[in-house]
Structures are given as C-alpha cells and as structure tokens.
Structure 1
Amino acid sequence: MIDKLRELLFKLFKKESIIGKLIDKLFTKEIITYIIFGLMTTVVNLITFYLFSRLFISIGWDGVFNKIIPENTRLYEILSGGTDYLDANFIAWITAVLFSFVTNKIWVFESKSWKPSLAFKEFTGFMSARIFSFIIETAIMFVMVTLLSSNKLLAKVVVGVIVIVINYIFSKLFIFKRNNNSEAK
C-alpha cells in the first residue's frame, strides 16, 4: 500500500524534482507507519481520556491534586475547578504508551529481537522518552486548560500533535536503532 502511494505521488511529481525529493524523504514506510500508528495511539489516548473524564465527572472525582494541595493556598484556589482531567490524562497516557511501544517495536521500527536485555533496554528507553513527553504534555495541558481556559479535548488534540513529533525523534534516534534489528529473537 505504501509503495502504491509513493508510485502515485511520483506519477504526479518527477522523482528528480524538488517536490519529488521531498516526497522520497517524507513518504518512507517508516514515517507512514509511524503516522498511522501514531494516529491510532492518539485515538486510544483520546478515547481513554474521554471515558475516564466522563467517569470522574459521574462519580464526583475532583482529581488527585485537589486531595493533596493544602486548602488555604493560591495553588488550591487556582485548581478549585478540579484537576480530574489531569488524572484522566495520566491513565490515558499509560494506556497509549503501552500500545505505542508494541506497535513501534514491531511494525514501525521493525526491531525484531525480543532478547530480554535488548527488549528491556528498548522498553526503559521508550518509557524514559515518554515520561519526558508526558511531563511536557501535562504542563501544556495545565497551561491551556487551567490558565487559558481552553476546551479540555481541544487542548488534548493540540498537545497530541506536539507529542507525536517529539516521540518520533526519540524513538528514531535513541530507542529503536537499526543495529538492534539484526539481533536474533
């Protein structure tokens, strides 16, 4: 399917042209599968976020931060609208990261080895990079929703695009290196 897409694009633009060269660089199997699985991961993340947001609202959960911040502080006052969305975001993140690790390892970066030492190294590197992007995601969500009064779901979508780019860079350069793919299962 990816080859057919590239073939179609090269019929429209000569491979030697500037646009053709750009297509050749951007429409690789790896990037296209990353985008597809990135979108699927985003859908998993959004659905999980939505379901837990609705659940927390239905049970009257204000969020873990409202439970641990002292009541007579400015931070408590800022968070008085509830931080349930941050809790829902955390659960959505865990679900999406596990889904993403498996799909990235197997189909995007084609790291074939499940040798325990390599799989552990990839998983810990993946989790470290995702923790970093989660901190960025949570900070931007907090700014957009709590400080700028943005719609929670809109903020989640905007942040999702930023996180996809950050995560691809980390996965490509540091986690699923090509030399890992040659190791035996």
Structure 2
Amino acid sequence: MIRTIRTTLQKTIEFLKSPRGETLRYVIIGGCTTLVDYFSYQMMIAFLHMSVTASNAVSTALAILFAYITNKLVVFFSRTVGLAGLALELARFLASRLFTMVLEFAGVYLLVNILGQDYRLGKAETIVLVVIVNYVLSKLFVFRKDQPQ
C-alpha cells in the first residue's frame, strides 16, 4: 500500500516537472495567486484598517508580483541573463497583464451592461477568457523559450 502511494506520488511529481505538466502547474499557481490576492486584501482591511480601494490596489500588486515570480520559476522555468533581460521579461509580463485587465473590464462591461447577463455569470465567463489569454501570452510572449533573454 505504501509502495503504491509512493510510486503514485513520484509519478505525479515527475509529471509536474515535465513539459507536459506545464498547464497543470499554471492552474495550480493561478489558484495560489488568487489566494494571495484575496487573503492579502482581506488582511489589509481587517488588520491594517486600510480602505477597500487601497487594499485592492496593494493586493493586486502583490498578486501580480507573486504571479510573475512563480510563473517564471515554477511554471515556465524561465532563465534570464542579466538585469536587462530580467527587466525586459518583467515589462512584457506587466504589459500582458495590463492588456488582460483591460480585456476583463471590457468583457464584464459588454456581457453585463450591454448584453444584460447576470453580473456573476458575466464575471465568471470573463475570468475563464482572461486565464486562457494570460496563459497564451505568458507562453508565447513573456516566457518564450526561443527568445534571447
């Protein structure tokens, strides 16, 4: 029984480390990023008595920083050379996240205000789109394997 559990755990870890496990790593890190955003937002309001707007701004910034570091190191195994390479990669990451933030705002506005969908459904549908676009942009634009860093 223990041998079976150990073997299954080893195979799971091997899969997660392999290129085939990239999408699953992305989903796991995305969930962790959401938790960083949500819990830091709640903590700043509850314990630091910050305003909702300030808490949201700081928690979003923390989540984006967490997402960059973990996507770079855990999801895409990106290696950059020098400070200039790191700055360029970070700039591409921030630009892609800014683009998808605009996409999210526009998507929710279109689905809820123009098409009349329920606000929860419109937000959920838009989040799915944003997650997919973030993954594609990260893979093809930010953490490209063939691009000199």
TM-score scaled to structure 1, two decimals?
Answer: 0.55
**Structure 2 runs not aligned, ≥5 long:** 1-7
In the TM superposition, what are the counterparts of 1:97-108 in structure 2 within 5 Å? 97-108=64-75
- The aligned residue for residue 137 of structure 1 is 104
Cα shift at 1:50? 4.9
CA distance in 2, matches of 1:130, 1:155: 20
Cα shift at 1:136? 1.8
3-state DSSP of counterpart to 2:63: helix
Cα shift at 1:32? 1.4
- The aligned residue for residue 25 of structure 2 is 33
Cα shift at 1:158? 4.9
**Residue 91 of structure 2: which of 117, 124, 128 is its match?**
124
**Structure 1 runs not aligned, ≥5 long:** 9-26, 62-83
Cα shift at 1:39? 1.1
Contact 1:125 1:175 in 2 (8 A): yes
4+ aligned runs moved over 6 Å, structure 1 = 144-147
Q: Deviations over 1:5-30 (max 9, x none)?
A: 4999xxxxxxxxxxxxxxxxxx8221
Q: Deviations over 1:105-164 (max 9, x none)?
A: 11111112251111111000000000011112233455677786735xx76655433322
**Further displaced range: 122-131 or 162-171:** 162-171
In the TM superposition, what are the counterparts of 1:20-169 in structure 2 within 5 Å? 28-50=20-42, 89-113=56-80, 115-142=82-109, 150=119, 158-169=125-136
**Could you say what the CA RMSD is over the residues aligned between the two structures, in angstroms?**
3.9
- The aligned residue for residue 4 of structure 1 is 11
3-state DSSP of counterpart to 1:178: coil
Structure-2 change in CA distance of 1:134 and 1:7 (3 Å): closer
**AA of the residue aligned to 2:25:** T
1:176 pairs with 2:140? no
CA distance in 1, matches of 2:138, 2:34: 16
Structure-2 change in CA distance of 1:171 and 1:114 (3 Å): same
Structure-2 change in CA distance of 1:39 and 1:139 (3 Å): same
Structure-2 change in CA distance of 1:160 and 1:48 (3 Å): farther
